[in-house]
Amino acid sequence: MIVGFIVGFFLAVLFIHSSMPERDDFVPYYRYGQHVGTHDHVNENTSIAEKLYSEVRILCWIMTSPANHQKKARHVKRTWGKRCNKLIFMSSAKDEELDAVALPISEGDDNLWGKTEEAFKYVSDHRMNYANWFLTAQNDTYMIVKNLR
């Protein structure tokens, strides 16, 4: 019984250790066409999603602001944003992690339209060839891009 107890204890430790990755090790579980993480959905049939990914090209542009880069926008980048063919963060300050565009406008409710206008200009000046469809969302939006396609 004692041997069983000890073996069970070590198995439990091993199990807990192997099933909880370090925070830094966390990687997005899936990217169309390539598995990039340990969390593979082995039984998921992604053939339709992969086909649509290359046929229906969506550029997503996310409105955000410096105060929300860490709080909101990075989570878009780490989750559903990956499933867009192209993801752009529109802000008023640059951000290395997000690769955010610093639009030439200050933040504030009075500037909401001005900021949207600048974002439109940026996309039409730089990125029109990227996609068939253009989607704009807020930094606190969650989209199921697969279903949208």
Ligand X SMILES: *[C@@H]1O[C@H](CO)[C@@H](O)[C@H](O)[C@H]1NC(C)=O
Interacting residue ranges for ligand X, rule: CB under 6 A? 45, 47-48, 63-65, 68, 72, 138-140
CA distance 17 to 124: 49
Token pair, residue 27, equals: 């990687």
CB of 7 to ligand X, least distance (A): 39
CA distance 68 to 132: 28
**Residue 58 or 90 having the CB closest to ligand X:** 90
**Residue 27 or 32 having the CB closest to ligand X:** 32
CB of 63 to ligand X, least distance (A): 4
CA distance 122 to 125: 5
**Residue 16 or 103 having the CB closest to ligand X:** 103
**Residue 105 or 148 having the CB closest to ligand X:** 105
What are φ and ψ of residue 135, in 5° steps? -125, 130
CB of 55 to ligand X, least distance (A): 14
CB of 145 to ligand X, least distance (A): 18
CA distance 80 to 145: 7
